[in-house]
């Protein structure tokens, strides 16, 4: 399965609007976290950046979507797809 095919599958796991919103908040928190680490010059904390989104995203899956997060099966594709979904959300390609 290539990335585009996986992204289409990924979107089927993220149909609930509150789940998508929590993912958006998590991605925004990640951007803030990375910005803070760079500003404060605590670069070693950047290693934690990929994990900032998970409490938000997994809450969306558990409470709203009622499914298993995609990160459990293909973590790299899931992380890339998370950013692709954020892009599509900002560009209003998603509701």
d(CA 28, CA 33): 9
Which uninterrupted H or E stretch holds 50? none
> Which of 49, 48, 52 minimizes the C-alpha distance to 22?
52
**How confident is residue 12, by pLDDT bands cut at 50, 70 and 90?**
very high
Q: What is the pTM of this model?
A: 0.88
Which uninterrupted H or E stretch holds 5? helix 3-12
**How confident is residue 20, by pLDDT bands cut at 50, 70 and 90?**
very high
**How confident is residue 27, by pLDDT bands cut at 50, 70 and 90?**
very high
pLDDT for 8: 96
pLDDT at 1 over 90: no
pLDDT tens digits along 45-94: 999 999 999 999 999 999 999 999 888 889 999 999 999 999 999 999 98
pLDDT for 25: 96
């Amino acid at each position: 399965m290539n990335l585009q095919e996986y992204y289409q599958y990924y979107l089927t796991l993220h149909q609930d609007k509150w789940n998508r919103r929590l993912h958006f908040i998590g991605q925004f928190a990640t951007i803030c976290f990375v910005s803070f680490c760079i500003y404060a010059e605590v670069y070693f904390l950047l290693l934690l950046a990929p994990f900032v989104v998970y409490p938000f995203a997994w809450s969306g899956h558990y409470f709203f979507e009622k499914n298993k997060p995609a990160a459990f099966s293909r973590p790299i594709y899931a992380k890339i797809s998370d950013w692709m979904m954020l892009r599509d959300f900002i560009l209003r390609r998603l509701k």
